Amino acid sequence: MLYISLPIGFLAGLIFATASSVNATLADQTTVTFIGRVEGATPFIQQLNFVVNQPANLKTVQFTIQPKPGSVTRPLSATYPTAYLSARGFLDLAGNLKVPVFGLYANFRNSVTLRYTFSDGSFNETTVLITTTRYADPCSYRDPTVVQARTSSTSLSYDYLLLKNECSDNSPTIMDTDGAIRWVGTSGTSNAATAFFDNAIYIGNSAQLLRMELDGAVAVVGDYRNLRVTELHHNIDPGKYGLLLEVDTATDVESIILEVDKDGNLLKAWNMADIVSAAMIAGGDDPSTFVRRGVNWFHNNSCAYRASDDTLIVSSRENFVIAIDYQSGAIKWILGDTSKAWYQFPSLRAFALTVPAGSLAPIGQHAVSITYNDKLLLFDNGNNSRTQVPPGISRTFAYPRKYAIDLVNKTATEIFNYDQSTVSEICSSVYEDAPDNYLIDYSIARGPFAEIVGLQADGQKVFDYKYPTPSCQEIFNAFPLHFDQIRFQVEAPDFAGTLTNISGRDFVGTGNDVVIGGFIITGSTSKEVVVRGLGPSLAQFGLNQVLSDPILSLYSGSQLIAANDDYVPSAQLVDHGLIPGNARESGIVVMLNPGSYTAVLRGKNGTAGFGLLEVYDISGAAAQIINVSIRGRVESANKVLIGGFIVATNPMEVIVRASGPTLANFGITDPLTDPAVAVYNSNGTAVVSNNNWKETQQVELTNAGFAMVDDREAALLAILSPGPYTAIVTDQLAAIDSHGIALLEVYNAGTQ
């Protein structure tokens, strides 16, 4: 059992209760002794200090803050691997351990659970009660007008909000959906140009980019004065590889965009004055009356990267939404009010998308983003231009709007809007989290007040709060966050065995019967991968009824980041010998940041047949793939679920699981009742197999944190030598014509 000793006379606000796991071998041997705590930079942050007698035994430390009584929000939780703690100076070889706890309620007795997991899978848990001081809120968040209090619904996909503001030197603010402040900035900076990225808050400070760790530490990661930058303004948005910064320079006002990585290094830059001028000159127009350097002719207020066609989408409040090629900067399309000045120029009019009857083009918009299904989402303020003539029309209402962009027919069709009968002429935002879960910010509604609204997937309002504000500074922009499962990472210099190429083969049907593959990339560097969807070429291996025209989609969470029907030859596919064997097969080459990804293989026009989904690691970067999952239908004969993977470099401990019955908890109506799994080597020999997970390795799987929910499901743990392997999920009840959807998972146990 974990032992914690308290010094005599220690602060009464801290109380401990301890629980130990069953079979906790290293947990029994390891003591973690409390030696004190340190107040953080704000009441929302504390640092708890311990001494660990055998620090090599420790694998992760997790804290979880319980919500206030009556709240249905997910608990705020974060996990620190010991490699991260060591890299940050929070754990040394002598066993001195510092655990930063952030997201505490201010002026409250917080119940915090600390979970210590050891390298053998055993763990101990400690309950800590931390009483915090009051936060003197310089903004108006503590005194809202509650139009609708947070409902008891648990269907809303997010529970935390990033409020980008300029109402204090503690920008920004993180709030939960109950309206409670849970974190504020620690850099002493007031700037709405902020973003949550790489488990940290980034904020502009004049020509500098600062990074605020959630534990309160602040560092300057970028200084762009050498680029003649004078100010980071408006928003910071996610880009292709890093962050998109909107900047002013000595010569250009709100019309230059930089992309930088997490360390502030410049990756790419776009000057919209140069891009628009070049297009106008090429089209026979004089840009001098439209592109007027030194004045706010463009007014860039947000950007978004669209991975499906490698496009940078830029919001120009004065003019339009404009899409440019990420690499070349060439204009692809323009969407906006055709009564504005830009439409008077034939060179720009040639790029205009048509808005069909029943749809409205955006005017003076903010907060452009790309949704999970590749649609354009934005906040349409309805306010005309202030610096261009003619200025265009103004409306008496402001709507969030979503558009389907059809580049073949050059149309933008409105497929969603939300009417709250509210006017918000400037600033403001809307973002979609999980499908149809929205966070809307009316930054300066008439009153004046800022209003934030949460909508769940069925369209029901979950919360609605108003805050007095003189202008945009209270809530310039509001972005949904997931602070319920934060996991910090640090790049490890060396690995043991690694998963490289992975694949899944199954019969591809329609609806739930498509093939879905998931994989996780860890580390702090990006990794280039090839994802392939094969069908016709499988016929050469003796398969009948192959998928005639496979289509691939790649998602990060709910966000579509790449898609392909018929592959396009590329140097990467040629160099690595990965050109598909048939022109109708699919191939995606993409650089991915660390995170979780899902690939979906389906048939074009609803066709069915055997298909093969593959993911290849072609980068050799330090980041690694640590987990792969394949979901598909299992029947009988050759209609089984097959997953392939390669163990590279060194022997690797893997965990292989086959789930069936528990998929019903996730909306699958016909899960496989009794799955079995076997792993085969390159000679076709079964090296390990399992039917019901408790039969042989219950203790090992439980200690490793991979216990199954249903006794009929299969799981195994094995050490595999380098080489290719095939895992096959079959139906134990095939004799009685059972079938259903199953999930096959392969984990690199050494990274868990």
What CATH number corresponds to the domain at position 589? 2.60.120.380
Residues 209 and 317 placed together within one structural domain of the fold = yes
Closest CA relative to residue 7, chosen from 33, 40, 30: 33
3 within a domain of the structure (yes/no): no
The C-alpha R_g of the chain, in whole angstroms, comes to: 27
Q: How far, CA to CA in Å, does 505 sit from each of 124, 304, 475, 638, 659?
A: 40, 34, 48, 10, 17
* 667 and 725 housed in the same domain: yes
Check whether residue 374 and residue 459 sit in a common domain. Answer: yes
Q: Is the pLDDT of residue 46 over 90?
A: yes
Whether pLDDT at 14 is above 60: no
User: Is position 140 within any domain?
Assistant: no
Separation of alpha carbons 553 and 594, rounded Å: 18
- Tally of domains in the chain: 3
**Cα distances (Å, whole numbers) of residue 231 to 202, 203, 204, 426:** 14, 11, 8, 20
Question: What distances in angstroms separate CA 740 from CA 21, 169, 465, 677, 728, one per listed residue?
Answer: 35, 56, 45, 15, 15
For residue 494, the number of C-alpha atoms closer than 13 Å in the C-beta half-sphere is 2
Do 173 and 248 belong together in one domain?
A: yes
Residue whose C-alpha is closest to residue 467's, from 152, 181, 44: 181
Q: Which of 105, 131, 157 delimits the end of a domain?
A: 131
Q: Cα separation of 629 and 183, whole Å?
A: 35
8 Å CB contact between 517 and 629: yes
5 inside domain: no
pLDDT tens profile 65-107: 999 999 999 999 999 999 899 999 999 999 999 999 999 999 9
Q: Which tokens sit at 294?
A: 């030194």
What is the pLDDT of the chain when averaged over all its residues? 87
Give the confidence band of 7 by pLDDT, cuts at 50, 70, 90: very low
Name the token pair of 292.
């007027």
427 contacts 443 by C-beta, under 8 angstroms: yes
Q: By CB neighbour count within 10 A (0-12 exposed, 13-18 middle, 19+ buried), where does 226 fall?
A: exposed
CB-CB neighbours of 541 under 10 Å: 10
Q: How confident is the model at residue 633 (pLDDT cuts 50, 70, 90)?
A: confident
Q: In terms of domains, do 376 and 253 share one?
A: yes
What share of the chain has pLDDT > 70, as a percent? 90
Does residue 136 sit within a domain?
no
Of the residues 74, 107, 131, the one at which a domain ends: 131
Residue 640 has pLDDT above 80, yes or no: no
CA 450/CA 432 separation, integer angstroms: 19
- Indicate whether 621 and 508 sit together in one domain: yes
Cβ neighbors of 163 (< 8 A, separation 6 or more) are 141, 172, 173, 174, 175, 452, 475, 477, 478
- Out of 434, 464, 487, a domain closes at 487
Residue 138 inside a domain? The answer is no
User: Does any domain span residue 1?
Assistant: no
Statement to judge: residues 483 and 503 lie in one domain: no
| Cβ proximity of 500 and 646 under 8 Å | yes
Domain span including residue 693: 499-751
| Residue 416 and residue 556 share a domain | no
d(Cα 285, Cα 622) in Å, to the nearest integer? 50
pLDDT single digits (tens) 650-688: 677 888 888 888 888 877 788 888 888 888 887 777 788
Residues 729 and 640 sit within 8 Å (Cβ to Cβ): yes
Is residue 494, in this structure, part of any structural domain at all?
Answer: no
Whether 592 has a pLDDT exceeding 80, the answer reads: yes
Q: What is the per-residue pLDDT for 496? A: 43
Q: What is the pLDDT of residues 467-480, one digit of tens each?
A: 999 999 999 999 99
What is the amino acid identity at position 123? F
User: Would the pTM of this model clear 0.75, i.e. be above it?
Assistant: no
Helix ranges (H only) for 128-269 are none
Residue 493 forms part of a structural domain: no
308 phi, psi to nearest 5 deg: -60, -30
Sheet of 32-39: strand order equals 32-39, 45-52, 96-102
Cis peptide before 172 (omega within 30 of 0): yes
pLDDT of residue 705: 77
The residue length of the chain stands at: 752
The tens digit of pLDDT for each residue in 374-415 reads: 899 999 999 999 999 999 999 999 999 999 999 999 999 999
- Residue 432: pLDDT band by 50, 70, 90 thresholds? very high
% residues pLDDT > 90 (the chain): 59
Q: Are residues 624 and 739 in the same domain?
A: yes
For residues 475 and 510, membership in a common domain is answered with: no
* Three-class SS state of 204: strand
Burial class (CB in 10 A: 0-12, 13-18, 19+), 599: buried
Count of beta carbons in the 10 Å neighbourhood of residue 307 = 20
Q: Exposure string (b/e) for 542-556, b if CB count within 10 Å is 16 or more?
A: ebeebbbbbbbbbbb
The reply to whether 41 and 65 lie within a common domain is: yes
Q: Are residues 253 and 379 in the same domain?
A: yes
Domain with residue 402: its CATH number is 2.120.10.30
